[in-house]
Amino acid sequence: MSRLREGFVAGLPKAELHVHHVGSASPRMVSELAARHPGTVPSDLEELRRFFEFRDFAHFIEVYLAVVDLVRTPEDIRYLTYEVARELAEGQSVRYAELTCTPYTSVMPHDPDKGMAIEAYTEAIEDARVAAEREFGLVLRWIYDIPGEFGLPSAEATLDYALNHRPEGLVAFGLGGPEVGVGRPQFKEVFDAARASGLHSVPHAGETTGPETIWSALRDLGAERIGHGTSAAQDPALLAHLAAEGIPLEVCPSSNVATRAVASLEEHPLPAFVEAGVVVTINSDDPPMFGTTLNQEYDVAADLLGLDEAGVADLARAAVRASWAPDDVRARILEEIDSYTSSV
């Protein structure tokens, strides 16, 4: 049972570190995109809400790919990015977000008849980033994500986008998509090059596979944070290593239940992570597609960990400290959290 006053989490200044660009498209945004590109996705808002009602992981993939197919032009990219920023800032008090982008699925070098130029993609996200900071007070940064299911060609293309078409807001290099059958060692040289250019390493690992995938992400990819890391709870030595090295786990509780990475919220390993001394951050992953928000994920974490308002504020501070925000932005948000908690 929540021990938090109503509205406390909504007003708490926060950082969001694990949230996907296309996966953040709400029914409102998809409705607009579907109206621009009539076809298989309904543009009626009520029909879309039913379309978004989560049934299983296969349905999530269906919805995700349908939304990817609607983001076809630089104008679509700019609209999506700006509106995602609006929804993070308004009502959720997100002050800083690292948005995981997958430029490969927009540039589509494997299908150039459908793709856009990387220069146009970069200009669109950067224009939205600048506008979001000016209009919403939200500082956005980018994580360029390899879609692992496309293998090394997508990794090499993503590295090219990061090195040779680098947007000003790019801070990190990631790896998403399915884990089963997509070994981490094959991406070592690509991550080495990204890290040598000054980008941080933040691959997904251990969401749908065991602890060895996390070990591989640490060993082969130089991971500085781990996306999900759910299966780390199965390996006490791994938990001890993560705690000793201060390597944060980006925890997304509702997502983990929706994708069946864990059976239920009650069985989520978040308490085991905290008990082991691992740094955790709370995140929303693909919020509209999993019927959640960052606010709701903080409420879930508070229930799982039995936290009061001071404890929830500490979770918010942990995310800020684990971020790759500029020092002045990090200091400002931490001061805002202190001010907020002392005044409510």
Among residues 32, 207, 250, 297, the one annotated as catalytic is: 207
Inter-axis angle of helices 74-89 and 118-136, nearest 10: 30
Q: Look at residues 87, 93, 86 and name the one whose alpha carbon lies nearest to residue 320.
A: 93
d(CA 72, CA 106): 7
- Quote the radius of gyration of the chain (alpha carbons, Å): 19
Secondary structure class of 201 (helix, strand, coil): strand
Is residue 148 within 8 Å of residue 162, measured between CB atoms? no
Looking at residue 335, what DSSP letter applies?
H
d(CA 9, CA 293): 11
Q: Is 178 exposed, middle or buried (0-12, 13-18, 19+ CB in 10 A)?
A: middle
Question: Cα–Cα–Cα angle for 240, 243, 247, nearest 5°?
Answer: 125
- CA distances 141 to 175, 266, 291, 325, Å, are 16, 33, 24, 8
d(CA 68, CA 115): 11
- Written as six digits, the tokens of 239 are 């938990």
Count of residues making up the chain? 344
Instruction: State yes or no: is 207 an active-site residue.
Output: yes
d(CA 7, CA 167): 36
Q: Look at residues 251, 324, 263 and name the one whose alpha carbon lies nearest to residue 292.
A: 251
Helix (H) or strand (E) holding 205: strand 204-205
Secondary structure class of 329 (helix, strand, coil): helix
Helix (H) or strand (E) holding 127: helix 118-136
**Residues annotated as part of the active site:** 207
